[in-house]
Amino acid sequence: MSNNTQVVTPPQFLANAGIAVPNFSPPAKVLVLGCIDPRFAAYLEWFLVNQKGVFGQYDLFTLAGASLGVNQAEAGEGAASAGAEYSGELWDTAPADGNYHNVGLLHWDSVFYQHLGLAVDLHSITDVWIFDHLDCGAYKIIKFNDPTGPDTDIRAHSDEIARLALNLSTFNLGQFSSLKVKGFVMNLNGDIFKVYDDGANGINFYSPGSSSSALWWILPSVLVVFIAVFIYVKYGMKKRF
């Protein structure tokens, strides 16, 4: 075994890329709930890096299915046999309301809420941002009961995000009722849609790199050119002739 120690210095790589890592106190404002699917990690990272006032001030928690991962555990706590643990196969038992199938991933809700409580206590977070994505394996198995089927309807994800937001507001006699919640859904192209906003005065969200924000200068520029041409045609050409 080699005794050589390899050192990686992320701050230097970030500096070379022109990214300044902020250092704030308290260290976080938002808890971000995302999915474990690696296809969407870069999209989510880019989004958070480019959010004004959020980069470097968020806690990141990932769970298969994101919002659905928490919700199915709440619905299925009594579905599997008492004391059972996940052993690599999803139990083929559904809760009485029939909203979820093959539920058996127990206690994910407890894990999420415990982390959320720590984020509030340790990092003084004020907001929760939930990121679902389309073509999600957890949705196909748990919600649609078809691992090979499609997951293309944003509304299914919007419903789960809204359900989780409601549960957040009522959890443990309102322990998290003061938190502001926003929800987003990513598609396979990397587009990110805001589908839920509780309307509270939370951390501002904006669309980095969107055509409306990046090209705001086009209309004023066209107007200036038009005025210049008009003045030249009306007055400049008269002087020439």
- Specify the amino acid at residue 234: K
Domain regions of the chain by residue span: 10-206, 209-241
3-state DSSP assignment of residue 44: helix
By C-alpha distance, which of 195, 176, 169, 184 is closest to 126?
176
Model pLDDT, residue 104: 58
Beta-bridge mates of residue 185 = 132, 193
Q: What is the pLDDT of residue 14?
A: 83
| pLDDT at res. 211 | 41
Query: What whole-number distance in Å separates Cα of residue 71 and Cα of residue 184?
Result: 16
Domain 10-206 in CATH 1.10.1740.10? The answer is no
| Res 70: pLDDT | 92
pLDDT in tens, the chain (241 residues): 556 787 888 888 888 888 888 777 778 999 999 999 999 999 999 999 888 788 889 999 999 999 999 998 776 554 433 333 333 444 444 444 445 665 557 789 999 999 999 999 999 999 999 999 999 999 998 888 888 999 999 999 999 999 999 999 999 989 999 999 999 999 999 999 999 999 887 787 766 554 444 444 445 566 666 676 667 666 665 555 5
**What pLDDT sits at residue 78?**
45
